[in-house]
Chains A and B, each alone.
Chain A
Amino acid sequence: MNLERDLALEMLRRMLRIRLFEEATIELFHAGELPAMVHLSIGQEAAIAGACLATTADDYMTGNHRSHGHPIAKGARLDRLMAELLGKAGGVCKGKGGSMHLADFSVGSLGESGIVGSAIPVAVGAGLAADVLGNGLVALCFFGDGAANEGVLHESMNLAAVWKLPVVFFCENNGWAVSVRAGELTSVEDISVRATGYGMPGVTVDGQDPVATYEAVSAAVARARRGEGPSLVEAKTYRFHEHAYGLRVKNSYRDQSEVDVWRQERDPIDLFRRRLLDEGLADEAAVEALDAEVRAEVAAAVEFARDSPYPEPEEAYRDLYYVEGAST
């Protein structure tokens, strides 16, 4: 693909947003400011950014517990996401969802699920609505390699296929489901081959390359918008940190050397930055300016989150039902 400069810089920007946002959460964790552990997408930024950039801000999206990257890449405001992680009133879910359950409807994010696999059919439903309403939108559905073994994924793929719904099933295969290596408890090496069983196209791409992901998802989105139905895209990527930051797994399950190799040789941001410089799409100054821009944005998000008050106790009792005329 002939990469254009603006798109390339936007890819880098969104990857950096995820990376720096999450590095800030690590600091907050150590400062004792995070109420709970967080599941980091560091290492997986290219897969997420490439996929989201192939959609528009109006398109729908659902995701999982490793939730920060999805709304960030979809274009959500960082400050309200960060405030949510701290359980603050200014959070995108008013402090009621937290790290695993971000949702920002303003950018099509219909919610991330702490229950693995649980939000997959919700994306199919968004696809159904788009199809019935004829508004041309698509639904992007993030799930992990572990979630590929939940029955609900299979029911969802079948349904989306038979009704030719505009859904893109996007598997972030990050090599591990907590302590279980992808492939150990999954019957196939490439999850994308499962698409065949549901009569839809399936491809596996290099998840460390935002362009490869972008192209594959763009093709799937185009097919969905043409009314030809769903696709499955699998991005092979890697989780750089522990399953959840702060979690201590009793028995080590992966070699540190494996992690080191990915970090040193397959860091998606390092790789892409180098590519931009090599291909002359950006110079050092532009790359540094982008870095500074995102750093400032993340710092402002942290400040916003810290300054945001905690919710009033009564907030725990609101939003259970829709009430005509009540403010949200």
Chain B
Amino acid sequence: MSTAPAAARRAAQLGFLQAIQQAQHEEMTRDERVILMGQDLRANVFGAAQGFLEDFGPSRIRDLPLSEAASVGMAAGAAMAGLRPIVDLTVASFMFCAMDQFVSQVAKNRYMFGGQARMPVVFRQALYYHGGTAAHHADRPYPMFMNVPGLKIMVPSNGPDLKGLLKTAIRDDNPVLCFEDATLWGRRGRGAAPEDDDHLIPFGVASVPREGTDVTVIGIGGGVRHALDAAADLAGEGVSVEVVDPRTLVPMDWPAILASVAKTGRCVIVDPANRTCSAASEIAAHLVEEGFGSLRAPVLRVTSDDMHVPFSPVLEKQIYPSKEKVVAAVRRVLGVEK
């Protein structure tokens, strides 16, 4: 593989948009109750729905008006009445327009109605930060939804995981929120394409993209890339970093996280969300409660600063996690002991 020309290597890898395209196409072919809806879907503005209208017809491929609240609640109703909708909300910041529907209907209906309702619905949305879109488009709001019981949440960090998790999500009888980190849309988000069409990744199973012994660095979405880049740099200094990618935040693979930290005794969490009540905060709290005995240093969070995303390119980058910030945090947890 390493001798193959770069272009051929890339062709054998799966980017985010292809992963979505493949997962949705395969699952729609497999089960005709799956329907796909979204704004500007037919024109394929976001690039992951090529040929869907031709292949599945207008009844199953629907453009939605600018009506997010109705779109989300309508999908919930359709799911309760026998369909398996996928709703492409495009940008995660647009979810706020439908917050009540997510919280009051999607998340609560099964519980409140004593288990009568099934809610097989998937909501997909990009974390559209780091691109000069300014505060209205650049939110990373998955922690807000972690605070709502009843939702499953995936934040994949590479194309193959996205494909496998999304297929699992579509087959799940519970509501799933699929957050797609747009900083991974490009080449760096790729990974080797899975061979088989039934590539399914279960929820609640973390991956360990790099093994190590000194420090556990847990990455969320695009945070995995920073974790891996930092691990590569630190290896040159003789520091052995283990990178853990939870892949789904709800359910979270606590055993894998606790096992890694039991081995290394130190943990840094890289999370592109805002710091306060981030996914990183939840992981840190859990480690203190359940893994305190194995900790040899404080758990550190590398997150976005608690700030709105400024437009200007000279202002934006600094508020996010970066490789440099991860390296600094790792040095700090190592230094504490000395």
Binding site for B on A (CB under 8 A): 35-36, 84, 87-88, 91, 93, 95-101, 113-118, 146-147, 149-152, 177-180, 184-186, 247, 249-253, 310-311, 313, 315-317, 320
In the bound assembly, the distance between CA atoms of A46 and B66 in angstroms comes to 25
> A310 CB to closest chain B CB, in angstroms?
4
In the bound assembly, the distance between CA atoms of A151 and B97 in angstroms comes to 9
Q: Given A93-B311, A117-B97, list of 6 further CB < 8 A pairs?
A: A36-B131, A84-B311, A95-B314, A118-B136, A177-B65, A251-B43
Q: Which residues of A contact B135 (CB under 8 A)?
A: 96, 101, 114
In the bound assembly, the distance between CA atoms of A178 and B44 in angstroms comes to 11
In the bound assembly, the distance between CA atoms of A262 and B40 in angstroms comes to 23
Contact of A250 among B45, B66, B137 (CB under 8 A): B45
Interface set, chain B 20-59, CB cutoff 8 A to A: 39-40, 42-45, 47, 50
CB-based contact A178/B310 at 8 Å: no
Chain A: CB-nearest residue to B47? A250
Binding site for A on B (CB under 8 A): 39-40, 42-45, 47, 50, 63-70, 93-94, 96-97, 131-137, 305, 307-308, 310-316, 318-319
Query: Dominant SS at the B interface?
Result: loop
Q: Which residues of A contact B43 (CB under 8 A)?
A: 178-179, 249-253
Contact of A100 among B39, B69, B97, B136 (CB under 8 A): B136
Q: Which residues of A contact B310 (CB under 8 A)?
A: 95-96, 315-316
In the bound assembly, the distance between CA atoms of A315 and B318 in angstroms comes to 11
Instruction: List 8 contacting pairs A-B, 8 Å CB cutoff, sorted by A.
Output: A36-B134, A97-B311, A100-B134, A115-B136, A117-B97, A180-B65, A185-B65, A316-B315
> A156 CB to closest chain B CB, in angstroms?
14
In the bound assembly, the distance between CA atoms of A162 and B307 in angstroms comes to 37
> B36 CB to closest chain A CB, in angstroms?
15
Chain A: CB-nearest residue to B63? A180
Contact of A115 among B97, B308, B311 (CB under 8 A): B97
Contact of B315 among A84, A101, A149, A313 (CB under 8 A): A313
In the bound assembly, the distance between CA atoms of A35 and B308 in angstroms comes to 18
CB-based contact B42/A101 at 8 Å: no
User: With A151-B67, A185-B64, A315-B315 given, is the CB distance from A98 to B132 under 8 Å?
Assistant: yes
Chain B: CB-nearest residue to A146? B66
Q: Which residues of B contact A84 (CB under 8 A)?
A: 311
CB-based contact A251/B318 at 8 Å: no
Query: Dominant SS at the A interface?
Result: loop
CB-based contact B134/A98 at 8 Å: yes
Most B CB contacts (10 A, CB to CB) among A99, A118, A250 go to A250
CB-based contact A98/B312 at 8 Å: yes
In the bound assembly, the distance between CA atoms of A315 and B308 in angstroms comes to 12
Q: Which residues of B contact A316 (CB under 8 A)?
A: 307, 310, 315-316, 318-319
CB-based contact B134/A96 at 8 Å: yes
CB-based contact B133/A150 at 8 Å: no
CB-based contact A36/B133 at 8 Å: yes
CB-based contact B66/A311 at 8 Å: no
Most A CB contacts (10 A, CB to CB) among B45, B315, B319 go to B315
User: With A115-B136, A150-B97, A151-B67 given, is the CB distance from A35 to B313 under 8 Å?
Assistant: yes
Chain B: CB-nearest residue to A88? B312
> B185 CB to closest chain A CB, in angstroms?
14
> B68 CB to closest chain A CB, in angstroms?
8
Q: Which residues of A contact B44 (CB under 8 A)?
A: 249-251
CB-based contact B47/A114 at 8 Å: no
CB-based contact B312/A96 at 8 Å: yes
Q: Which residues of B contact A186 (CB under 8 A)?
A: 65
CB-based contact B308/A320 at 8 Å: yes
Q: Which residues of B contact A97 (CB under 8 A)?
A: 134, 311
> B127 CB to closest chain A CB, in angstroms?
15
CB-based contact B136/A96 at 8 Å: no
> B49 CB to closest chain A CB, in angstroms?
9
Q: Which residues of A contact B136 (CB under 8 A)?
A: 100-101, 113-115, 118
In the bound assembly, the distance between CA atoms of A249 and B50 in angstroms comes to 12
> A65 CB to closest chain B CB, in angstroms?
8
CB-based contact B311/A96 at 8 Å: yes
In the bound assembly, the distance between CA atoms of A255 and B66 in angstroms comes to 23
Contact of B50 among A91, A149, A178, A250 (CB under 8 A): A250
CB-based contact A178/B39 at 8 Å: yes
Shortest beta-carbon contacts, A-B, top 7: A87-B312, A98-B311, A114-B136, A179-B43, A95-B312, A36-B132, A185-B65
CB-based contact A179/B42 at 8 Å: yes
Chain A: CB-nearest residue to B314? A310
In the bound assembly, the distance between CA atoms of A247 and B44 in angstroms comes to 12
Chain A: CB-nearest residue to B311? A98
Q: Which residues of B contact A88 (CB under 8 A)?
A: 312
CB-based contact A150/B67 at 8 Å: yes
> B234 CB to closest chain A CB, in angstroms?
26
In the bound assembly, the distance between CA atoms of A296 and B19 in angstroms comes to 50
Contact of A180 among B40, B313, B315 (CB under 8 A): B40
In the bound assembly, the distance between CA atoms of A184 and B62 in angstroms comes to 12
In the bound assembly, the distance between CA atoms of A113 and B65 in angstroms comes to 18
